[in-house]
Structure 1
């Protein structure tokens, strides 16, 4: 911003928007992260950030309210920690669709290092709606990001203005603050471990924290009822939550624990969004905080989605029990089970912060319920009922298919024909790396071999074999573009003599936008030769 000597204030995205002589400029500055810039037209002056906050802070005894009302999780009595045997962990991993690949490439690195594993080059597997595998509902959503020249927020260099800390509980009228506005449980992280969840569930068990009672919802549905049973159970839960609020509950825990051969877990994202939007319609959403206890959650994307659709905190209990099991089984060495769980929470939290920063969002409170996602392959009926306001450019599956995929995953742990041996391993996976029985890849061993063989032997017939295989995979429901066909007989073909010759087209080729840092020397030299040749 610029302030001139005659009282003109210019606030713009960049310098030079208006042609103002430098001798007229009294002051130059910028809008800083976390600070306010106020031009008070009534007072005829600019009020600085410190003065604004100081005057607001003196309007009410906020410090006293916080001290008396805010409950820190550390101050709630601890509950006994429960370790689960390997057989129990393995069975529930099967029920929630875990694979050996996810354990090896996702959970183990996070539990060991405290950082989210990073991959590259995108994915060449089918999108969830085209996959023949029973995919998680999370896979039908993609994250949105601010498409601007500069990153909207650098979560590393601008860490000072970011926060993963939040609170759980009722939210009172912002325009009429009072002591009750501070009656919440503060959290340092949106991801909580099993012991912290136990504290929240029993926060008022001894009557020491009135106004913060928690209510646990059993998020399961009967397998035999299929999609209709799932739909009916969601409606039952909505009514159950509404009644719990009337009875005084101020924290709702949506849990998918205790599934068995007859009851499967409702997808946590579906349940969270369904309850969230139901309470918004009832105008009771601010009366409660939502906590999700789910065995499905094991990736950053999963946590981000749950928070984005209304959860104030997420407890990925099975991922944490899996991390503990990896230590107890000797897969992860040199750290304790407590450290493994801490590392998992840390990596998930850092990942959520990275996702938030892509949209320029700096605090978890602003991200909660923001719904900055796009759906791909969900029916409009499903979107309108459970994911209101979510962008969806492609229709697809409804509640019946979601129930069917959930039941397929559940049958891996509870097969209709009876028990499975505990010695049987998890499904291999194949989402990140090609496996014979896993998710199909566009670039499988046969395709890669054909491409390498064609380039080494310089044989066009083998290259055509490679392109034909790629085209066949696209048509076999591997990609969305494979679903498109050309309309015939709509337009007359253009005579070839009217098409610009190749020799003229290549003159306009430019390699200036190529990422030279990612190319080998041989590639750079080849590009340079092509550029020189085409310029002549």
Structure 2
């Protein structure tokens, strides 16, 4: 991940993200064809001014419309059904953009399964903004993906994902948008995929809608089964309509990372902050940790009754476009290093050397520790330390009182 503490979106951050991605080529893989990659991608903040210049229809104010790239089968002819679902979900289609792509460098395997690409823009009929719009777009996207053979890498008013079955060096060439100097962002999340427990495919490249992930979730089968078992208990006052129309929340054919992203998305859109949702899913080793505060212990114990840990060797980077960060599994089995420079550049990656930074510019560097979180608040322009994150969350509700009143132990 690459971000700035200066609160300024720039094309330089996008380019630094792409440079870091190219320097992570060894982290990814390809088959016998070196030009058919396992996957590469980038997540950035929506470049509003750029999209206004390249579409021929009106967009509302930033935050009032959502956009995302759509992977479509060849000769797709069901746009009208998409319009109907949008109408049913209280949304209106503002327009479609034929996404520019350049497939000249792709290998035969990647080309043989390559979808068509369009970009969708929509807004809420009731003028919902920001998170309220995110929730409507989420419901729309889930219904469309359940019913039609299409895939949205993202659909958001805040962020957009460009990804595919590509190598790290192909990404910027394949999506010409990324080389346009009008495409600016204060942060970039990039990933080079090494496909382990699933075959390479266009949808399974990272980043997902909220995360990029280095590692494996070894408990994923149990996590998926528990999510399916609990679906009948799910209720949300924030997600509009009958939530059952969105089931299954977790796609059984997705990768472990895709499943983690789907659950994180649900927790976030149902009212939790992104760090809160991450710590529900990937908690630190708290049970025998004698030095953590009682409030923090109560926080973890309360959430342990709601969700089992998504466990395994994993460094998960995450963002909602306002904050960007990373959390390391409680066993610390994946590398994660970070640097902060004197001019406000923040870089976190699986290893040193992803960007060429002069030593005299570095004011802080370190390694993410097991169970720890590293978080940058882009809008506030600061790094939020692990203890501050966790103590604030632990103080956010009377978790100890809830445990005392509602937890019954079998030995009792």
Same structural fold, with TM-score higher than 0.5 when normalized by the shorter chain: no
In the superposition, the TM-score normalised over structure 1's length comes to 0.25
In the superposition, the TM-score normalised over structure 2's length comes to 0.30
User: By percentage of residues, which structure has more helix?
Assistant: 1
User: By percentage of residues, which structure has more strand?
Assistant: 2
Larger radius of gyration between Structure 1 and Structure 2: 1
